[in-house]
Structure 1
Amino acid sequence: MQKSSQASLYALHAVVLGIVLIVESIGVIRIPIGVAAVILLPMLYAFVLGIILNPSILPVMGKLLTPRAVKLAATMISVAFMPFIAKFGTTVGPQIQKIIETGPALILQEIGNLGTIVVAFPVAVFLLKMGRESIGASYSIDREANLALIADKYGLKSPEGAGAMGVYATGTLIGTFVFAFMPPMIHALGIFDVRALAMSCGVGSGSMLAACTASLVAVIPEQKDLILALAAASNILTYATGLYVGLFVALPLTEWLYDKARPSERRAAAV
């Protein structure tokens, strides 16, 4: 049993190594779209290959990757991102003066994260007809800190927890693609300063941060250090302030909006 388990772990490492070799051989692909361009990064190919080779999608892979190996792979995601986050941290110091020059914008950018309520809540409640799942699904982009808040207040088995977990899974699957496509396309419009685009990369997600910064650097390579520094600082502040904004502003606001949108449920609960 132990030998079989070890063989599965070796197979996991071999599959990961194979994916890395394939995506690195493909490299970065630019697809021009009008005045903009979509940047396809190796991370995106790796993500797609990882999904395809999942035993739940491709049953034959179950012979190589046991449930224990799959569980280990999920755990290793957080570990693998640690060197990446540390690298970003080293870019902040040399660019500290430029970060300070951004003024309150870097701190106030957290207000922008409340935009998920404005956009997602009406869609969840009125278009998709979701119940209290809409609270967990729309009060934030539902990364780790946001999930912890929902788990503490409602529990992940609650409707709110189901909504938050649904967005977390969707963000993991689709968010990386969106954050890779949008920055170069928005930059091509010439509306936003590169510093604003860099700060927008820091939403509290390692994979989204990587995709966003990589695509921006590919378009504006001469601003690489500034982009990495502002994105890293923004991401750190999102982790630091996002939990408090969610706890004291976003979540109470979403609950209040839900009560207003579904007053019959509130009356029924009171009875």
Structure 2
Amino acid sequence: MSQERVNQLKIHVIVLALVIVAELIGTHKINLGFGVLALFPMLYALIMGGVISWPSFKWLKEKDMKIAANILGISFILLVAKLGTTLGPSVSKIFDAGFALSLQEVGHFIGTIILGLPVALLLGMKREAIGATFSIDREANLAIISEKYGVDSSENRGAIGVYICGTLFGAIYLGLLAGLLGSTGIFHPISLAMGAGIGSGSMMAAASGALIAVFPQSEQDIIVFAGSANLLTSILGTFVCVFFSLPVTERLYRWLEPKLGKKATNPDSREEHSA
């Protein structure tokens, strides 16, 4: 057996072990007084995976990380296929909620720009702020930025930074947030499920898992509407980012940077790009 196959087998065994341990721990709810915080197996698996892959421990090498990244892509394909089998029988429900499902997409694009861009500028970011705030920076968004500005640009560094943070912490954050918001009783589970579909498979799965833990009676609807919103964001998101989000972020950056921006401390953050 070749060394590459041995490494692949090691990754599969580690993943299986993490899944078994996470499922054995199960779902737990913590009463915070003003709501319930749902802790579900995917959260434990993410934390354990982060611990064992910590560079200082040297349990996993960089080549193991690359193998895991390739497997992750295949896993997301299986996830999308599973979502498709759930969406089909429930397509009438999706059409009934068509306007609401489309309207909730606004927050996915406007929220990152209107809220994120000023904060990024106040923190001292320059053109990195454009890449970091024009979207949630998943794979398709990284392709847009690298194609327009180049892989060595400040904009691409900002997008990559958000992508890494989203990969490391996004699922954990959304899982905790969804469980907390769901337990307050203020929002309908379907509206929260729509909000879970932000264009990231892992984040959607984490948020959906937390919502299902809070609303077990609405499990099927949560899966359907979260998957629909995620698919809609993924499909429309590319076009919205190219023709709306990125140009608007560029324009707002030129307007806000002189007012909110700090003096550049990074010599690589050059103001040399044009819209």
- Give me the TM-score of the superposition, normalised by structure 2: 0.89
**Match for 1:48: what amino acid?**
I
Q: 1:263 to 1:95 in 2, by over 3 A?
A: same
Q: Which residue of 1 aligns with 2:266?
A: none
RMSD: 2.2
Q: Which residue of 1 aligns with 2:114?
A: 118
Of residues 27-36 and 167-176 in structure 1, the stretch that sits farther from structure 2 once superposed is 27-36
Give the CA deviation at 1:213. Answer: 0.8
**Match for 1:112: what amino acid?**
G
Q: 1:177 to 1:269 in 2, by over 3 A?
A: closer
Identity of aligned residues (%): 41
Q: Which residue of 2 aligns with 1:7?
A: 6
Give the CA deviation at 1:60. Answer: 4.5
Q: Structure 1: how far apart are the matches of 2:215 and 2:272?
A: 55
**Secondary structure at 2:131's aligned position in 1?**
helix
Give the CA deviation at 1:149. Answer: 0.8
Q: Which residue of 1 aligns with 2:264?
A: none
Q: Which residue of 2 aligns with 1:215?
A: 210
Q: Structure 2: how far apart are the matches of 1:226 and 1:3?
A: 45
Q: Structure 2: how far apart are the matches of 1:57 and 1:168?
A: 23
Deviation beyond 4 Å, 4+ runs, structure 1? 263-270
Q: Structure 1: how far apart are the matches of 2:164 and 2:72?
A: 14
Contact 2:37 2:183 in 1 (8 A): no
Question: For residues 95-138 of structure 1, what are the alpha-carbon distances to aligned partners after superposition, in whole Å with 9 as ceiling and x for unaligned?
Answer: 22221121311112221111111111111002x11010000001
Q: 1:220 to 1:269 in 2, by over 3 A?
A: closer
Q: Which residue of 2 aligns with 1:70?
A: 65
How many positions carry a matched residue from both structures?
Answer: 264
Q: Which residue of 1 aligns with 2:263?
A: none
Q: Which residue of 2 aligns with 1:195?
A: 190
Give the CA deviation at 1:55. Answer: 5.6
**Match for 1:206: what amino acid?**
G
Contact 1:156 1:165 in 2 (8 A): no
1:50 and 2:49 aligned: yes
Query: Of 82, 86, 107, which residue of structure 2 is paired with 1:87?
Result: 82
1:18 and 2:17 aligned: yes
Q: Structure 2: how far apart are the matches of 1:268 and 1:6?
A: 46
Give the CA deviation at 1:267. Answer: 8.9
Contact 1:110 1:241 in 2 (8 A): no
Instruction: Give the unaligned 5+ runs of structure 2.
Output: 260-268
Q: Which residue of 1 aligns with 2:262?
A: none
Give the CA deviation at 1:151. Answer: 1.3
Q: 1:236 to 1:269 in 2, by over 3 A?
A: closer
**Match for 1:14: what amino acid?**
V
Query: Of 228, 232, 235, which residue of structure 1 is paired with 2:230?
Result: 235
Question: For residues 27-55 of structure 1, what are the alpha-carbon distances to aligned partners after superposition, in whole Å with 9 as ceiling and x for unaligned?
Answer: 11211111421111211111111111116
